[in-house]
């Protein structure tokens, strides 16, 4: 028992530190992607003194600066909430990771690449936690006592709540088909048959669009839309508190990318059964983790690429899109999937 | 032996020096100092490699700052591309441009809001010491009067490379900092600065007592008492009376028929003196008077603009007005109609609605302070029959605060801001104007600065070059601030005693605001007021919008400007004619060549035929103007997309093309942005060899393709369509009535382009289309600009093909320009719209009155009706589609 606890703690530690490190580097990657999208070079100086190329130390510099910066708490904010908001934002983003499998999971694997294995409603948990993040944003906007922050918070609460619905419904199709809420099972089903994106193309599109909205990324980054609201909900935050929002946002991106890959792109499997799922062993486990990571990285790059390419929606159009198109469409998709699944099962 | 541990904390022990050396060689950390040094290295390295600038630009220098982020220079390499809109997240304030008094409290506030450690780079001559605008009454002569500056960058503007160098200097400076003596960890150093207040002038609260004392002594008044004041000239009188002995009447009589060139040269050879008021003689005396021998001074041909209604038409019009509205309504004065103030509105209504040529477009409105009156004059044109410009004059009492004229607000909404400007600058009240507030300066400012009897704080003499700065000064060179009693450019009237009421909390600019304009009939909601700007990522400079919003719907909107009012006109009245060229560059700093063009035309109109540019110069001018148009439209399209949320990518691609054009400018004129390339009668230098080929290459091989690329990627983008179609609609009638100009007017389906409506230079030789848009919405304004770039490319191709060889100036290069007395209004189609220069010359070396009809400023009049009922996101887009440049809005 003790060993299990220690194992879990270790896993948490590893995952959290990897996640934070990754996030820091994601910001760097984002800046590089932006640079390449704009025909520039991007950060390439930090680290030169030590002979490290490509500005690879940029995230460390940013981090060092942020930590050492004066942490201004303006006099007009409501203090407890102001302090609480970034904590909620980052904690909500973090604990969502608990059930995300980072590699093959299962009773006969050499190790469970998941902090909390054996939760058979994993996906529900992710969404439940994911929607907590909105509290961070609302509180930040409210506590800041700043009009831009307030508008940003208003926008984001409406946006996040609206997009939860299509987001949740878009995955139900996949859940029905695989017959399980367990991410592991869903991946295994895809490995046996085809990738989710083939059987659920509409579900995938709905998921993708809603996921962009959920993560506040362009073209749906209305809560912080810089050109309109300066910084949106985090206008009044400085130093590491601001950094925490930043980290939280990128953690969300990671989670969403994992989910997309797990639900629609076969997780750690390769198409045409190139990778035998039943094979266990150290090498194959590592390989599977690599496959998953690769797919996730592609997904993250895609999300970034979109950000530096598209203009932003307008707020009311965004709401129209959710309520008038996405939700009806996801309902139709759900019903149709349910009917077909039922037909196939009953015909067997 | 000296104690080697003198700087160490007390608890550390003294180590034998030999031992210490040994230790230092073998052990990494031997002492507290070394540890601190290591900490310093990391601490400093973090800050130096991650300097996030505050995303805020003040003036022309900000454009170069933005270019520094573009692909050619890429400030991102230093990790400094993360421009933060919120001061709370920024480390570095780049003061990029002219610091005005109106803006200074905001800058101080921003500085105070930035968290420690914070750094300030003063970019450009203006931020460092006031630069070319230093003498202005609204310019702070250097940001370091208020903020501690870390690095100064010289230049006007500094090139992007210079800014990068400045950044590297700052990094070096950071490298030398120590955690132990960093000022932000010391409790005894007050790093927050007091925010100055806008009282009768910009008052620094730290020195308020001293200021009060000096003001009470009346030092400013004492100094001004024995300064040479600008002399006022009398207003032009009706033709029938203006005949004096030296033969002004001759010009008047000649003007009736189109004068031949030979007549003009003769007239020039004769020369004529200024008209003396009251020396009235019958008109019959005019002809003999012409034969009289010449004295010094001469008058320019009387005509309001190059292309206008003509003398015959004007006489007819005057007769018609007299017949319709009662005799004595109007009289003809120097080719303009002098209207009695009480009849002004009736005349305007008649001109707009009943006259055969419907004068529906108020092109410009300005005021002149004469000896005996303040004259407001109006230039009207007709969009139905373009090119029939007329000028109306109204006169009112000269004494300060006495003038009163009926407002044309209800007839031409375009008069709104222009009348406010006249009120602000001359103190003339417009009865019937619903909101007669100061527009460029702030409520409570003590003076009307464009009156001739107002002297700026740094005032030395009516005209530059000041005697103290040239040879005649015999080495007694002095700077104006040395004789300025307040030590800064501060001026408070002696009677001011209300010092106690000044508080940094009050904001006299933009108050009061906003009637709730429309009702939102939905849920019971509360409205609240958002002040966007003057530091805001998408106000395109230091511009502010006061919004009243209901949810996200705009129910009231007022633009607040003047944060970059750098007194262009006042300074222009003291500059010699030639000296003013570089100042026009800095109006709309994205289109300096176009600005030069307009100014050159205005003065050439006064100088008459003998300043006619030779062929080659005309072609060069056209090439430059059209290249400018492409560069400016590129910029505006890129940043419109940025405002719509496409994060800088289109903008940076647009800048890439603009850079190519700037290269051409730099090659020909010597400067990227501030070209100062035009001269009266031509251009400053001939094109260097190879220039034409390069230009041809850029136009044919590059620009065309890029325009197509923009078209392909942007014009049909779903989100762009969604955001732009049907947003911010301006109907044709509105567009005309609000005096909008340029792409904004044409997008509303009014084919009014000065290049066709009142052709100047040699535009009549080129084949191009006037682009119009069908709906007048945001999308059309975008698309009209895109298509106009194509037309410009078309013109460029023709011009580059046909350009002849030859001289580029009609005579020798001249540094002493003789400009005959008279009045001129020139109009050019600048990328932003009709740019007009109104110049009154009195025969001396500098303009008596110099006014700029700025398209950005007047286009803003239409912002309010376009935005009401839309959302905040739309306002940003609509503002972007107006394409304002603050240098021109505030001047
Ligand atoms: S005039 Fe313009 S370009 Fe020159 S220093 Fe001032 S802000 Fe910069």
Q: In angstroms, rounded to a whole number, what is the distance separating the alpha carbons of residues B862 and B868?
A: 11
Residue B563: partners with Cβ closer than 8 Å, 6 or more residues away: B100, B102, B103, B106, B509, B533, B534, B542, B543, B544, B886, B890
CA angle A215, B83, B885 (to 5 degrees): 115
Residue B231: partners with Cβ closer than 8 Å, 6 or more residues away: B462
Quick one: how far is CA B599 from the chain centroid?
Answer: 14
Q: What confidence tier does A296 reach under pLDDT thresholds 50, 70, 90?
A: confident
Confidence (pLDDT) at A1: 67
* More confident position, B460 or B97: B97
User: Which 8-state DSSP code applies to residue B396?
Assistant: E
Sign of the alpha-carbon dihedral angle for B417, B418, B423, B424: positive
Query: Quick one: which of B748, B848, B830 has its CA closest to B792?
Result: B830
Confidence (pLDDT) at A101: 74
Q: Assess whether pLDDT exceeds 80 at residue B659.
A: yes
pLDDT digits (tens, 9 = 90+) for B246-263: 434 334 333 334 444 444
Q: How far is the CA of B848 from the centre of ligand 1 (A)?
A: 25
Shortest CA distance from A312: residue in chain B: B645
Of B49, B552, B652, the CB nearest to A58: B49
Confidence (pLDDT) at B614: 87
* More confident position, B489 or B186: B489
Residue of the CA atom closest to atom 7 of ligand 1? B97
Other C-beta atoms closer than 10 Å to the C-beta of A126 total: 23
Please, is B279 exposed, middle or buried when counting C-beta atoms within 10 Å of its C-beta (0-12, 13-18, 19+)? middle
Ligand 1 atom at minimal distance to the Cα of residue B60: 2
Percentage of chain B modeled with pLDDT above 90: 1
Which chain B positions have a beta carbon within 8 Å of A222's beta carbon? Answer: 873
Residue of the CA atom closest to atom 6 of ligand 1? B126
Shortest CA distance from B184: residue in chain A: A70
DSSP B147-191: S--SEEE-SSSPPHHHHHHHHHHHHHHHHT--TTT-GGG-TT---
Q: Which two tokens stand for residue B501?
A: 């009421």
Percentage of chain A modeled with pLDDT above 70: 87
Q: How far is the CA of B59 from the centre of ligand 1 (A)?
A: 7
Out of B135, B157, B595, give the residue to mutate to test ligand 1, the one with the largest number of ligand atoms within 8 Å of its CB: B157
Q: What confidence tier does B481 reach under pLDDT thresholds 50, 70, 90?
A: confident
Q: How far is the CA of B841 from the centre of ligand 1 (A)?
A: 27
Q: In angstroms, rounded to a whole number, what is the distance separating the alpha carbons of residues A37 and A82?
A: 36
Mean pLDDT of A214-241: 72
Where are the alpha helices (H) located in B684-777, listed in sequence order?
Answer: 691-697, 704-710, 718-724, 732-737, 743-747, 754-757
> 3-class SS at B332?
strand
Q: Assess whether pLDDT exceeds 80 at residue B302.
A: no
Q: Assess whether pLDDT exceeds 50 at residue B267.
A: no
Q: Assess whether pLDDT exceeds 50 at residue B825.
A: yes
Q: Which two tokens stand for residue B122?
A: 């003063």
Query: Quick one: which of B431, B427, B399 has its CA closest to B415?
Result: B431
Out of B98, B136, B139, B542, give the residue to mutate to test ligand 1, the one with the largest number of ligand atoms within 8 Å of its CB: B98
Which chain B positions have a beta carbon within 8 Å of A62's beta carbon? Answer: 46, 50, 79
Which chain B positions have a beta carbon within 8 Å of A310's beta carbon? Answer: 645-646, 717, 719
Q: How does B587-597 read in b/e, with b if 16+ C-beta sit within 10 Å?
A: bbbbbbbbbbb
Q: What confidence tier does B512 reach under pLDDT thresholds 50, 70, 90?
A: low
* More confident position, B104 or A70: B104
Q: In angstroms, rounded to a whole number, what is the distance separating the alpha carbons of residues B362 and B364?
A: 6
A324 touching chain B per CB within 8 A: no
Confidence (pLDDT) at B4: 45
The residues that bridge with B152 in the sheet, in sequence order, are: B122
pLDDT digits (tens, 9 = 90+) for A8-30: 788 778 777 877 788 888 888 88
Sign of the alpha-carbon dihedral angle for A228, A232, A237, A239: negative
In chain B, DSSP finds a helix count (H) and a strand count (E) of: 31, 20
Q: In angstroms, rounded to a whole number, what is the distance separating the alpha carbons of residues A236 and B462?
A: 49
Least confident of A194-198, B270-274, B871-875: B270-274
Q: Assess whether pLDDT exceeds 50 at residue A274.
A: yes
**Is the ipTM beyond the 0.90 threshold?**
no
Ligand 1 atom at minimal distance to the Cα of residue B155: 5
Which chain A positions have a beta carbon within 8 Å of B874's beta carbon? Answer: 314
Residue A118: partners with Cβ closer than 8 Å, 6 or more residues away: none
Please, is B521 exposed, middle or buried when counting C-beta atoms within 10 Å of its C-beta (0-12, 13-18, 19+)? exposed
Least confident of B24-38, B279-293, B577-591, B755-769: B279-293
A52 touching chain B per CB within 8 A: no
Confidence (pLDDT) at B278: 36
CA angle B44, B49, B54 (to 5 degrees): 105
pLDDT digits (tens, 9 = 90+) for A157-178: 788 778 888 888 888 888 888 7
Least confident of A333-337, B29-33, B753-757, B885-889: B29-33
Q: Assess whether pLDDT exceeds 60 at residue B245.
A: no
Confidence (pLDDT) at B271: 46
Mean pLDDT of B856-885: 85
Q: Assess whether pLDDT exceeds 80 at residue B778.
A: yes
Distance set, CA B380 to CA B346, B413, B837 (Å): 15, 13, 14
A53 touching chain B per CB within 8 A: no
Which chain A positions have a beta carbon within 8 Å of B649's beta carbon? Answer: 34, 37-38, 308-309
Confidence (pLDDT) at B469: 66
* More confident position, B815 or B600: B600
Least confident of A314-318, B526-530, B815-819, B851-855: B526-530
Annotated domain spans of chain A: 1-68, 74-346
CB B71 within 8 A of CB B100: no
Q: In angstroms, rounded to a whole number, what is the distance separating the alpha carbons of residues A206 and A216?
A: 16
Residue of the CA atom closest to atom 4 of ligand 1? B156
Percentage of chain B modeled with pLDDT above 70: 87
Q: Assess whether pLDDT exceeds 80 at residue B632.
A: yes
Mean pLDDT of chain B: 79
Please, is B224 exposed, middle or buried when counting C-beta atoms within 10 Å of its C-beta (0-12, 13-18, 19+)? middle
Residue of the CA atom closest to atom 2 of ligand 1? B60
CB B414 within 8 A of CB B360: no
Shortest CA distance from A234: residue in chain B: B86
* More confident position, B287 or B313: B313
Q: What is the maximum span of chain B, computed from C-alpha positions, in angstroms?
A: 111
Which chain B positions have a beta carbon within 8 Å of A68's beta carbon? Answer: 43, 46-47
- Whether A65 and B641 lie within 8 Å, measured CB to CB: no
Q: How far is the CA of B674 from the centre of ligand 1 (A)?
A: 9
Mean pLDDT of chain A: 78
- Whether B50 and A65 lie within 8 Å, measured CB to CB: yes
Q: What confidence tier does B515 reach under pLDDT thresholds 50, 70, 90?
A: low
Q: What is the maximum span of chain A, computed from C-alpha positions, in angstroms?
A: 69
Of B50, B85, B649, the CB nearest to A231: B85
Confidence (pLDDT) at B288: 38
Q: What confidence tier does A278 reach under pLDDT thresholds 50, 70, 90?
A: low
CB B392 within 8 A of CB B367: no
Q: What confidence tier does A289 reach under pLDDT thresholds 50, 70, 90?
A: confident
- Whether B50 and A49 lie within 8 Å, measured CB to CB: no
CB B106 within 8 A of CB B535: yes
Cβ contacts below 8 Å, chain A against chain B, sum to 183
* More confident position, B512 or A313: A313
Confidence (pLDDT) at B294: 39
CB A289 within 8 A of CB A102: yes
Give how far A3 is from chain B: nearest CA, Å: 38
Q: Assess whether pLDDT exceeds 60 at residue B788.
A: yes
Which chain A positions have a beta carbon within 8 Å of B652's beta carbon? Answer: 38-40
Ligand 1 atom at minimal distance to the Cα of residue B59: 7
pLDDT digits (tens, 9 = 90+) for B397-449: 888 778 888 888 888 888 888 888 888 888 888 888 888 888 888 888 888 88
- Whether A42 and B74 lie within 8 Å, measured CB to CB: yes
Q: Which helix (H) or strand (E) holds B242?
A: none
Q: Assess whether pLDDT exceeds 60 at residue B101.
A: yes
Confidence (pLDDT) at B215: 83
CB B777 within 8 A of CB B726: yes
Q: What confidence tier does A347 reach under pLDDT thresholds 50, 70, 90?
A: low
């Amino acid at each position: 028992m003790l060993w299990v606890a220690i194992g879990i703690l270790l896993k948490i530690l590893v995952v959290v530190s990897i996640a934070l490190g990754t996030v820091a580097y994601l910001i760097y990657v984002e800046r590089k992607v932006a640079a390449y999208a704009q025909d520039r070079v991007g950060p390439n100086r930090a680290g030169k003194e030590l002979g490290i190329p490509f500005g690879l130390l940029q995230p460390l510099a940013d981090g060092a600066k942020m930590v050492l910066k004066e942490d201004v708490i303006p006099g007009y904010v409501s203090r407890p909430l102001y302090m609480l908001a970034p904590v909620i934002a980052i904690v909500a983003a973090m604990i969502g990771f608990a059930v995300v499998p980072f590699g093959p999971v299962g009773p006969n694997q050499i190790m469970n690449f998941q902090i909390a294995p054996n939760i058979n409603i994993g996906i529900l948990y992710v969404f439940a936690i994911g929607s907590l993040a909105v509290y961070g944003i609302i509180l930040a906007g409210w506590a800041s006592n700043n009009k831009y922050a307030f508008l940003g918070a208003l926008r984001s609460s409406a946006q996040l709540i609206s997009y939860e619905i299509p987001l949740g419904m878009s995955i139900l199709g996949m859940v029905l088909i695989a017959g399980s809420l367990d991410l592991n099972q869903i991946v295994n089903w895809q490995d046996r048959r085809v990738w989710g994106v083939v059987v659920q193309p509409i579900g995938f599109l709905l998921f993708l669009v809603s996921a962009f909205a959920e993560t506040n990324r362009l073209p749906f980054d209305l809560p912080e839309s810089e050109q309109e609201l300066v910084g949106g909900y985090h206008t009044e935050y400085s130093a590491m508190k601001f950094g925490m929002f930043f980290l939280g946002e990128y953690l969300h991106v990671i989670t969403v990318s994992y989910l997309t890959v797990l639900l629609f792109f076969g997780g750690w499997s390769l198409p045409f059964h190139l990778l035998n799922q039943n094979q266990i062993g150290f090498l194959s486990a590592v390989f599977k983790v690599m496959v998953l990571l690769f797919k996730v990285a592609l997904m993250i790059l895609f999300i970034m690429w979109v950000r530096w390419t598209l203009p932003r929606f307008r707020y009311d159009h965004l709401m129209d899109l959710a309520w008038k198109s996405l939700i009806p469409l996801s309902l139709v998709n759900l019903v149709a999937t349910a009917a077909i699944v039922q037909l196939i099962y009953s015909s067997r | 032996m000296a104690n080697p541990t003198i700087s160490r904390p007390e608890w550390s022990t003294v180590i034998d020096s030999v031992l210490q050396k040994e230790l230092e060689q073998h052990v990494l950390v031997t002492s507290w100092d070394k540890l601190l040094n290591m900490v310093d290295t990391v601490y400093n390295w973090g800050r130096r490699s991650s300097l996030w600038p505050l995303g805020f630009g003040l003036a022309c220098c900000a454009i170069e700052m933005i270019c520094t982020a573009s692909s050619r220079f890429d400030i991102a390499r230093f990790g400094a591309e993360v421009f933060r809109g919120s001061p709370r997240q920024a480390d570095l304030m780049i003061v990029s441009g002219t610091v005005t008094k109106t803006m200074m409290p905001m800058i101080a506030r921003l500085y105070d809001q930035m968290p420690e450690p914070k750094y300030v780079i003063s970019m450009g001559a203006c931020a460092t010491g006031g630069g070319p605008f230093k003498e202005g009454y609204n310019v702070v002569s250097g940001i370091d009067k208020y903020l501690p500056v870390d690095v100064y960058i010289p230049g006007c503007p500094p090139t992007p490379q210079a800014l990068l160098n400045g950044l590297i200097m700052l990094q070096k400076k950071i490298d030398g900092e120590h955690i132990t003596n960093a000022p932000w960890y010391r409790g005894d150093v007050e790093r927050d600065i007091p925010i100055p207040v806008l009282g009768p002038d910009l008052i620094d609260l730290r020195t308020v007592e001293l200021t009060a004392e000096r003001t009470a002594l009346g030092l400013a008044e004492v100094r001004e008492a024995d300064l040479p004041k600008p002399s006022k000239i009398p207003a032009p009188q009706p033709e029938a009376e203006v005949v004096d002995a030296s033969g002004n009447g001759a010009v008047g009589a000649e003007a009736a028929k189109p004068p031949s060139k030979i007549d003009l040269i003769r007239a020039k050879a004769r020369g004529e003196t200024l008209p003396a008021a009251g020396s009235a003689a019958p008109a019959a005396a005019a002809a003999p008077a012409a034969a009289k021998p010449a004295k010094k001074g001469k008058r320019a041909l009387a005509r309001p603009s190059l292309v206008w209604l003509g003398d015959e038409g004007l006489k007819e019009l005057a007769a018609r007005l007299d017949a319709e509205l009662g005799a004595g309504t109007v009289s003809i004065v120097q080719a303009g109609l002098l209207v009695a103030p009480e009849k002004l509105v009736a005349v305007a209504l008649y001109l707009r609605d009943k006259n055969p040529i419907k004068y529906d477009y108020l092109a410009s409105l300005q005021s002149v302070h004469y000896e005996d009156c303040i004259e407001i004059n109006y230039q009207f044109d007709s969009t139905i029959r373009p090119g029939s410009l007329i000028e109306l004059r109204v006169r009112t009492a000269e004494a300060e605060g006495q003038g009163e004229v009926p407002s044309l607000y209800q007839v031409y909404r375009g008069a709104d801001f222009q009348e406010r400007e006249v009120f602000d600058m001359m103190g003339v009240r417009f009865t019937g104007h619903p909101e007669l507030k100061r527009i460029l300066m702030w409520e409570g400012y003590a003076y009307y600065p464009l009156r001739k009897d107002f002297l700026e704080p740094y005032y030395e003499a009516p005209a530059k070059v000041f005697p103290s700065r040239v040879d005649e000064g015999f080495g007694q060179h002095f700077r104006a601030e040395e004789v300025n009693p307040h030590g800064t450019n501060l001026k408070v009237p002696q009677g001011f005693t209300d010092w106690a009421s000044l508080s940094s909390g009050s904001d006299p600019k933009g108050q009061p605001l906003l009637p709730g304009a429309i009702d939102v009939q939905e849920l019971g909601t509360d409205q609240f007021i958002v002040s966007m700007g003057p530091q805001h990522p998408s106000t395109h400079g230091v511009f502010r919008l006061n919004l009243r919003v209901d949810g996200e719907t705009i129910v009231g909107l007022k633009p607040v400007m003047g944060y970059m009012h750098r007194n262009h006109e006042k300074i222009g009245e003291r500059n010699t004619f030639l000296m003013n060229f570089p100042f026009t560059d800095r109006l709309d700093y994205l289109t300096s060549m176009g600005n030069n063009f307009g100014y050159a035309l205005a003065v050439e109109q006064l100088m008459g035929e003998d300043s006619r540019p030779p062929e080659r110069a005309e072609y060069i001018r056209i090439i430059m103007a059209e290249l400018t148009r492409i560069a400016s439209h590129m910029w505006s399209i890129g940043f419109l997309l940025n405002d719509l949320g496409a994060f800088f990518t289109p903008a940076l691609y647009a800048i890439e093309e603009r850079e190519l054009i700037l290269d051409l400018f730099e090659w020909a004129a010597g400067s990227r942005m501030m070209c100062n390339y035009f001269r009266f009668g031509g251009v400053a230098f001939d094109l260097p060899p190879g220039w034409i080929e390069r230009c041809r290459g850029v136009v044919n091989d590059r620009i065309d393709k890029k325009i197509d690329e923009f078209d392909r990627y942007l014009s049909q983008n779903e989100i762009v369509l969604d955001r732009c179609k049907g947003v911010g609609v301006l109907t044709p009638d509105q567009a005309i009535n609000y005096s909008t100009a340029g792409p904004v007017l044409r997008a509303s389906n009014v084919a009014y382009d000065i290049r066709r409506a009142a052709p100047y230079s040699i535009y009549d030789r080129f084949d191009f289309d006037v682009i119009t848009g069908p709906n007048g919405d945001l999308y059309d304004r975008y698309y009209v600009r895109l298509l106009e770039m194509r037309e410009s490319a078309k013109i460029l191709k023709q011009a580059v093909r046909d350009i002849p060889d030859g001289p580029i100036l009609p005579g020798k290069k001249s540094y002493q320009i003789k400009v005959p007395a008279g009045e001129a209004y020139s109009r050019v189609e600048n990328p932003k719209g009709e740019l007009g220069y109104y110049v009154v010359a009195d025969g001396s070396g500098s303009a008596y009155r110099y006014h700029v009809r700025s398209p950005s400023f007047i286009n803003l009049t239409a912002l309010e009706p376009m935005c009401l009922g839309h959302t905040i996101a739309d306002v940003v887009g609509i503002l972007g589609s107006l394409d304002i440049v603050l240098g021109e809005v505030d001047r």
